[in-house]
Amino acid sequence: MAVIENIQFIEKEIEGKGVTLVAVSKTKPVEMLMEAYNAGFRRFGENYVQELVDKHELMPKDIEWHFIGHLQSNKVKYIASFVSLIHSVDSLKLLQEINKQATKNNRVIACLLQIYIAEEDTKSGMTEEECLEIMKAETLEKLQNVRIVGLMGMTTLTDDETQIRKEFKKLKDFYQTLTFNPQRLPHPSLTILSMGMSGDYGIAIEEGSTIIRVGSKIFGGRIYQK
């Protein structure tokens, strides 16, 4: 199936559910992204800074670029002028660097804190305790050029639906704890729960996801080259 048909299929599935689709286009050529763009789609997710910079340069400027991969502090400067939402903030140090680069670019950059929910140690993210530490008013007051708008999480790589559901539930519970404690936040701004990929977005939506990040189900499998 063609890219745009896959997107339309998923858009139909999520219609009326308050869920936004991000098309994860890492490793895929600009031509494939342009198929989606030419059909009116504007929201892409990328994992690698250099690839994102290249695609941003080559493609039309009304695209909403989401950064979803592990982000090194020293590379924030390359995407700070244009990135729409960074899903993968996994430390205070990284958040401080995003704030610094956002200030230089005279912007406020929207960020999600990536929370560690999987039962394997290959997935990055922060613990709930680290997140609570960052969400303190004293910390956020010093970070005027970032806005934390929600949380992101990735489940264990498994076919066990019960396990996946349990991990999504855990993230949703934590999200609600944060949302319903507005005294902790100078801006009660949490509206996004980014969870769900090609294999598990159905469960993620049932468990309260508001952004799904779908790659292979739109663009096909990925081949990684060295």
Between CA 84 and CA 103 the distance in angstroms is 15
Length of the chain: 226
Closest to ligand PLP by CB, 66 or 172: 66
User: Is 109 an interacting residue with respect to ligand PLP (CB under 6 A)?
Assistant: no
Q: Is 72 helix (H, G, I), strand (E, B) or coil?
A: coil
Region at 91 (left for phi over 0; alpha for psi -120 to 50; beta for the rest): beta
Closest to ligand PLP by CB, 1 or 137: 1
DSSP state letter for 17: T
- Nearest distance, CB of residue 112 and ligand PLP, angstroms: 11
Q: Using alpha carbons only, what angle is made at residue 33 by residues 116 and 37, rounded to the nearest 5 degrees?
A: 110
Question: How many residues lie near ligand PLP (CB under 6 A)?
Answer: 14
Strands 64-67 and 20-24: unpaired
- Nearest distance, CB of residue 164 and ligand PLP, angstroms: 13
Is the separation of the CB atoms in 114 and 79 below 8 Å? no
Please pick, from the candidates 24, 86, 111, 205, the single residue that binds ligand PLP as defined by CB under 6 A: 24
Which of 32-40, 53-61, 141-149, 196-204 is the region at the interface with ligand PLP (rule: CB under 6 A)? 196-204
Residues numbered 30-49 forming contacts with ligand PLP, rule: CB under 6 A: 47
Between CA 122 and CA 29 the distance in angstroms is 27
Nearest to 70 by CA among 55, 85, 87, 82: 87
Please pick, from the candidates 69, 125, 150, 153, the single residue that binds ligand PLP as defined by CB under 6 A: 69
Residues numbered 136-175 forming contacts with ligand PLP, rule: CB under 6 A: 154
- Nearest distance, CB of residue 5 and ligand PLP, angstroms: 16
Please pick, from the candidates 81, 84, 103, 198, the single residue that binds ligand PLP as defined by CB under 6 A: 198
Task: Tell me phi and psi for residue 137, to 5 degrees.
Answer: -55, -40
Closest to ligand PLP by CB, 188 or 220: 220
- Nearest distance, CB of residue 12 and ligand PLP, angstroms: 17
Nearest to 147 by CA among 191, 181, 183: 191
Q: Is 147 helix (H, G, I), strand (E, B) or coil?
A: strand
Which of 2-10, 133-141, 161-169, 214-222 is the region at the interface with ligand PLP (rule: CB under 6 A)? 214-222
Contact residues toward ligand PLP (CB under 6 A) are 24, 26, 47, 68-69, 154, 197-199, 213-217
